[in-house]
A = this chain, B = another copy of it.
Amino acid sequence: MEFIDGLGLVAGICTSSAVIPQLVTTIKKKKASEVSMTMFIVLLTGNALWVYYGFDKKDIPIISTNLFTICLNIAMLFLKFKYKDNK
């Protein structure tokens, strides 16, 4: 793997795993009324398109990191729904 591909992976790990601290915060507070659901729906749409883009460009960092983010964003939407009655 070339340096730039490694850097792409690190970049992808950052932008993908960024949702993890939000998941932790939401699980701790058991509420997410201040967190925008639209944000995560738009993110999911974008991630799905990036995966398509990555396949076309045969760009492994783009594919793998966006697939990972899709899982995290779905988890966040699940928590947002779970705690929807907690204000």
Residues of A within 8 A of B (CB): 4, 7-8, 10-22, 24-26, 29, 31-36, 38-40, 42-43, 45-47, 49-50, 52-53, 56-57, 61
User: How near does chain B come to A54, taking the closest CB pair, in angstroms?
Assistant: 9
| C-alpha spacing A37/B46, complex, angstroms | 22
Q: List 24 A-B contacts (CB under 8 A).
A: A4-B53, A7-B49, A7-B53, A7-B56, A10-B49, A11-B46, A11-B47, A11-B52, A12-B50, A14-B45, A15-B46, A16-B46, A18-B46, A20-B39, A21-B36, A21-B39, A22-B36, A22-B39, A25-B34, A26-B34, A33-B34, A34-B34, A34-B35, A35-B35
